[in-house]
Structure formats: C-alpha cells, structure tokens
Structure 1
Amino acid sequence: MPKPQKHVFVCSQQRPPGHPRGSCAHKGGAEVLQTFWAELQKRNCFDRVAVTYSGCLGPCDQGINVVVYPEAVMYSNVSKEDVAEIFDSHLLGTTPVQRLLAPEVVW
C-alpha cells in the first residue's frame, strides 16, 4: 500500500442518547464516513488519500468533525453533502474549505 498524501479522520464517537456533549454518531457521522469512502472509491485515489473513522476529536457540540493530516485541518458541522467539495478543494487540491473550518478557539 502506498503512503497517502492526505489522511482523513471522521469522528464516529457514540455516546448514550441525551448525553450533554452529544456525539458525532448521533448527528450522522457514520453517513459522512460512508460518503467519504464512496468518494474515495469513485475517484480511485487510494494512493493519495486514506479515510479512517476515529473516536472523539474534541468539539462534540460542533460535530460532525473531520480532521485532515498532514495539514492538521479540522472541519466542523460536516454533512455528507460537503464531502465532494472537501475532496475537490482540499484532498485532491490544496485549498481547505473555509466555510467548514472549525473555529480557532477549538483547534
């Protein structure tokens, strides 16, 4: 397996219903993760991008959270509709999607 240029981590943290911090899983994290994997397959860029599910990335109240390395860019409130734009602009390009960037106070 070639070393990917970018590595995406999608929060899949699951907490009990009603937990005060909430969780990305309850906001649709699995659906966003599945959409990232589908885009990865559709674009056949396994040699450039890796996608992995993760536990809590921190700002649960702003989930669904996604982090892209090596740049250490955190996205918040990501929906499945945002995934193609993240691929086009950031993962296959070099420009993070500004409207989805996590606030500096949390990252």
Structure 2
Amino acid sequence: MPKPKYHIVVCTNARPPGHPKPSCGSQGSAQLLMAFNMGLMQRGVMPGEVLVSGSSCLGPCEQGPTVVVYPDGTWYSKVTEADVATILDEHIKGGKPAAKLNPDAVWK
C-alpha cells in the first residue's frame, strides 16, 4: 500500500456518564468518524490515499470533538458534522487548513 497523503485522527474517547470531565465521544465524535469516511468516498478519494482513524483521548477534552490532520499536524476543535465537508474540501482536497474553522485554536 502506498504511503497515505493525509491521516485524519478523530478523538472518540468516551467517559462514563456523570464523569466531571467532558469527552469527545459524548459529543458525537463517532458520527464524525463515519462522516469523514463517507465524505472521502463521495469525493472519489482512493482507498489508502487518506486514512481516517479514531483515537483515545487527545487531551483538550473541553474543546472536543477534536480532529487532527497529519502530516500537517493541524488541530481542529469543536468539530461538527457540518465541518467535515469543509475540512475535506479545503484541507484534504485543497491542501490548506480550513481557516474559517480556526484550526489550531485548541492550543491558543
């Protein structure tokens, strides 16, 4: 398999109900993971060209759901299903982080 051009990592960490700290899993990140995969298929991206993976906790739980795009190392915070198309069209297909989504805001 050739080296992928991008790797999209979606935090899907879920904490038990009543836990004092929020989690990306409780904020719909499993649906984001599916939306990224479906969006890539709809755009005709060849399998293996872009990988999409779920992960355990990435750290900034209060800013979740969190998505990171490598090799750029661009972090997106508070990602919604509506943001998936923007990330795929501007970042993955267009080659530049989706500025209107305030990438890397999670660390500012």
TM-score between both structures, scaled by the size of structure 1: 0.90
Percent identity over the alignment is: 45
Q: Does 1:64 align with 2:84?
A: no
Q: Map 1:57-96; keep pairs closer than 5 Å.
A: 57-96=58-97
Counterpart secondary structure, 2:65? coil
Alignment-derived partner of residue 105 in structure 2: 103
Alignment-derived partner of residue 22 in structure 2: 22
Counterpart secondary structure, 2:54? strand
TM-score between both structures, scaled by the size of structure 2: 0.90
Distance between the aligned counterparts of 1:102 and 1:55, measured in 2? 19
Deviation track 1:55-107 (CA, whole Å, cap 9, x = no partner) reads: 11111001000000001000000001110110010011111112331326x27
Q: Does 1:43 align with 2:23?
A: no
- Structure 1, unmatched stretches of 5+, are none
Supply the AA of the counterpart residue of 1:62.
Answer: Q
Distance between the aligned counterparts of 2:37 and 2:95, measured in 1? 20
Change (3 A) 1:102 1:19: farther
Change (3 A) 1:21 1:102: farther
Moved over 2 A (4+): none
Supply the AA of the counterpart residue of 1:103.
Answer: A
Query: Between Structure 1 and Structure 2, how many residues are aligned?
Result: 106
Distance between the aligned counterparts of 1:19 and 1:102, measured in 2? 26
Distance between the aligned counterparts of 1:57 and 1:102, measured in 2? 13
